[in-house]
Amino acid sequence: MPGELSNAMKKKIFRIAFALLITVAQIFICTAQSLPGGRKGKTIDQKVDSVLQLMTLDEKIGQMNQYNGDWDATGPITKDGDKQGQIVKGMLGSMLNVTGVDHTRTLQELAMQSRLKIPLLFGQDIIHGYRTIFPIPLAEACSWDTAAIALSARVAATEAAAAGVHWTFAPMVDIARDPRWGRVMEGAGEDPYLGSIIAGARVRGFQGKALGNTDAVMACVKHFAAYGAAIGGRDYNSVDMSLKTLWEIYLPPFKAAEDAGAATFMNSFNDLNGIPATGNKYLQRDILKGKWNFKGFVVSDWGSVGEMINHGYAKDGYDAAYKAVTAGCDMDMESRSYINNLSKLVKDGKIKVELIDDAVRRILRKKFEMGLFDDPFRFCNKEREQQQWNNADNLKAEKTVAEKSIVLLKNENQLLPLSKQTTTIALIGPFIKAVRDNLGFWSYQYPDDSARIITQYQGIQNKVGSNTTLLYAKGCEINDSSQAGFAEAIQIAKQADVVIISVGEASDWSGEAKSRSNLHLPGMQEELIKAIYATGKPVVVLMNAGRPLIFNWTADNVPAILYTWWLGTEAGDAIADVLFGDYNPSAKLPISFPRTEGQIPVYYNHYNTGRPATSDSDRFYRSAYIDLSIYPKFPFGFGLSYTNFSYGDIQLSSSTMKTDQPIKATVNVTNSGNYDGEETVQLYIQDLFGSVVRPVKELKGFQKIFLKKGENRQVSFTIDVDKLKFYNDELKYIYEPGDFKVYIGTNSQEVKEAAFKLE
Ligand code: NOJ
């Protein structure tokens, strides 16, 4: 019948429909199961569990294993066949120092050949920028500007995530009171309050709106814990401190980073009171995963699991793996202690497989959160990678952050800012034309970037008009004993209206394993400054360094000093903006500058002692030196502006405070100088006596305000009992009724004060 299908036709249609059904089913099965746990509709924890069920013990241990990518040894591809073979066998969870879309894709493809196709995590030390290098973290901390600091981390994350990186080993939140320690450059200085605020900002910057976005990388908070207190400032050294100091000074930034949602933590090389941090159960299980309920994972520091043998805490690799894993270290960076020993430890009944499962769950959870099970190549997008290279917005952000990081230490007779119409400027010193020394440590992995770095010479040249003549002489190297270049430098200085001398320490003189016992300007540099100063010309000194240096003669004699640290890719333009007044400096030191090495550690939030010296002339049987001031050369919180800010007296809303009734402290701040400018108004509190002694001052708040010249503003701080809390001798975090002082001012020494009582 017309309209009716023949049997043959029906069969054909049936066959086609059936084939289609099978194909759809296959597509569904493939999509859902090509990566384990990939089924939709499950929670991440359920997905993690479904993957875990499929894993052998060896595959689980593989996830806890991390290798370096050998990037610097052989170029951009990991050539180590053993490592590649282990990826294919599912024996590796993560790699570090593997970057770039091509390289990460190649290795991820190997992971996709493994039985369960569990994606690799790629980690990298992105400490202050990836392609665009930002100021070193200590310099950024001088901005006291959380938005700027978060922006720097955001740009770094965006650039890195576009190049296949999932994970940065940052922020370093170690409090450091000792500038001999080279890693002081990586942190936010000496103060737990400022350090905590900056730690949170950095985590939020790196992780963006949410993990899993392709512009976000996982943060790794390090080094847990107390690494910054290495004895004598010597890197990797032991730490010996009271638990009260640990809780009050060293742990708060870690807690703040955890509160900000940090995905991972790194433990530390040091031992703390005799137990290496890597094998330290108190730190990792009791505090981090216990009290703080941290749900991410902990990675060891490089080789630190195996190094517990050197510490004398583990007998061999077997013992080291046992101690680290039981203490809560989930991933072993490069020591191979886990891959070589964990399986035997389980088989010998020394550790339960549940312990392994917990670590693997934590690691897999992050891989799911990063979306890697949905698409292991989602961070490998060539186009995105290209867009982030030489990205003009990122460079602009870098310059802004760099300007906010420059500290004006001295400016006699308002020598600065310089006029752009100055006829002749002499530019002298080993940093004027330096390229890589503008970047600082932890930027060494970008050797091809030199052309993008704005030198100080270029920055100044970009700023001045064609009527200004720039004369240049290096004068001396950073660190040698020759004065052969002095004559030329003196000669150009004599021809100039003003001289800018740029000195400091080389960019690989601070950072990991860069502890120094002598913090003076290296080589002949201070001699060069003296020789130029002797010409009688006005001298501006730029100090480039990764730590507080000691330069007393310069500080006492030279009229203008800018501490420029290592400012990154746009250093030259940022410095020129400040030199010529297009940016009015606003930065404040986050760390005290010592007068001499013998004064270290010198920090503002010390105890009063039973015999406090009230001044440097009050030494007789006092807590003082007979041959040295007790005060730092430049105090915590210090930094000048081209304008002046004057502070009125503190008005308290009440001189008595009740636990449920906060009080308000208000000051009037006036811009009484000749420029518009930004001031960081700082609030300190002192608990005058208690069940344990309390510091002479503790930073408890700050506000950055911008005031036009002549403008004034009331700045108020709310003081509640949270600001009065401390750890007592039972490590309870409490407040006690009694007498308090409140200080508000422009730095930790120049303050107004008032008193109140907590009832
Ligand atoms: C050792 C350093 O201590 C740590 O901060 C860094 O993240 C790792 N090496 C990886 O490079």
DSSP per residue over 444-500, as a string? TT-GGGGGG---HHHHHHHHS-TTPEEEEE--S-SS-S--TTHHHHHHHHHH-SEEE
Q: What are the DSSP calls for 527-574, one per residue?
A: HHHHHHHTTT--EEEEEE-SS--B-HHHHHH-SEEEE-----TTHHHH
Between 182 and 388, whose confidence is greater? 182
**Rounded to whole angstroms, what are the CA distances from 11 to 3, 6, 22, 173, 717?**
16, 9, 16, 71, 83
Other CB atoms within a 10 A radius of the CB of residue 758 amount to 18
- Residue minimizing CA distance to atom 10 of ligand 1: 302
Between 37 and 490, whose confidence is greater? 490
**What's the average model confidence in pLDDT over 511-526?**
97
Other CB atoms within a 10 A radius of the CB of residue 392 amount to 7
- Give percent of the chain with pLDDT exceeding 90: 89
Q: Which two tokens stand for residue 156?
A: 């770094």
Single out the catalytic residue among 125, 301, 319, 577. Answer: 301
**What's the average model confidence in pLDDT over 405-426?**
98
Say yes or no: CB of residue 301 within 6 Å of ligand 1: yes
Q: Cα separation of 556 and 536, whole Å?
A: 15
Say yes or no: CB of residue 222 within 6 Å of ligand 1: yes
Q: What's the pTM? A: 0.94
Peptide bond before 601: cis, by omega within 30 degrees of 0? yes
Of 339, 272, 304, nearest to 63 (Cα)?
Answer: 339
- Give percent of the chain with pLDDT exceeding 70: 92
Say yes or no: CB of residue 307 within 6 Å of ligand 1: no
Per-residue pLDDT tens for 17-36?
Answer: 544 443 443 333 334 445 67
- Residue minimizing CA distance to atom 3 of ligand 1: 301
State the distance from the centre of ligand 1 to the C-alpha of 61, rounded, in angstroms: 22
167-168 and 121-124 as β-strands: parallel, antiparallel, unpaired? parallel
User: Contact at 8 Å (CB) between 272 and 239?
Assistant: yes
The whole-chain average pLDDT of the chain stands at: 93
**Rounded to whole angstroms, what are the CA distances from 666 to 113, 504, 523, 589, 747?**
65, 40, 48, 23, 16
Most informative mutation of 266, 268, 445 for ligand 1 (most atoms within 8 A of CB): 266
Say yes or no: CB of residue 595 within 6 Å of ligand 1: no
Is 314 exposed, middle or buried (CB count within 10 Å of its CB: 0-12, 13-18, 19+)?
A: buried
What's the pLDDT at 192?
98
Per-residue pLDDT tens for 68-103?
Answer: 986 543 333 345 568 889 999 999 999 999 889 999
Say yes or no: CB of residue 109 within 6 Å of ligand 1: no
Would the pLDDT of 5 be above 90?
no
Handedness of CA 88, 94, 96, 100 (dihedral sign): positive
Q: Cα separation of 569 and 546, whole Å?
A: 15
Question: Tokens 């003003």 appear where?
Answer: 498
Read off the amino acid at residue 59.
E
- Residue minimizing CA distance to atom 7 of ligand 1: 169
**What's the average model confidence in pLDDT over 258-279?**
98
Per-residue pLDDT tens for 210-254?
Answer: 999 999 999 999 999 999 999 999 999 999 999 999 999 999 999
What's the pLDDT at 450?
73
Element (H, E) at 404: helix 392-405
Would the pLDDT of 8 be above 90?
no
- Residue minimizing CA distance to atom 8 of ligand 1: 302
**Phi and psi torsions of 20, nearest 5°:** -60, -45
**For the CA of 220, the nearest atom of ligand 1:** 7
Say yes or no: CB of residue 235 within 6 Å of ligand 1: no
Q: Based on the residue annotation, tell me whether 301 is a catalytic residue of this protein.
A: yes
User: Contact at 8 Å (CB) between 279 and 324?
Assistant: yes
Q: Which two tokens stand for residue 410?
A: 């001295």
Q: Which of 29-43, 137-151, 645-659, 729-743 has the lowest mean pLDDT?
A: 29-43
**For the CA of 269, the nearest atom of ligand 1:** 3
Element (H, E) at 192: helix 192-207
Say yes or no: CB of residue 512 within 6 Å of ligand 1: yes
Q: Which two tokens stand for residue 664?
A: 């308000």
Q: Which of 11-15, 189-193, 547-551, 581-585 has the lowest mean pLDDT?
A: 11-15
**What's the average model confidence in pLDDT over 555-574?**
98
Per-residue pLDDT tens for 671-716?
Answer: 999 999 999 999 999 999 999 999 999 999 999 999 999 999 999 9
**For the CA of 97, the nearest atom of ligand 1:** 11
**What's the average model confidence in pLDDT over 554-562?**
98
State the distance from the centre of ligand 1 to the C-alpha of 390, rounded, in angstroms: 27
pLDDT band with cut points at 50, 70 and 90 for residue 12: low
State the distance from the centre of ligand 1 to the C-alpha of 269, rounded, in angstroms: 9
Per-residue pLDDT tens for 334-382?
Answer: 999 999 999 999 999 999 999 999 999 999 999 999 999 999 999 999 9
Say yes or no: CB of residue 125 within 6 Å of ligand 1: yes
Would the pLDDT of 201 be above 90?
yes
State the distance between the two ends of the chain, measured CA to CA, in whole angstroms: 101
Q: Cα separation of 159 and 129, whole Å?
A: 8
Per-residue pLDDT tens for 104-114?
Answer: 999 999 999 99
Would the pLDDT of 15 be above 90?
no
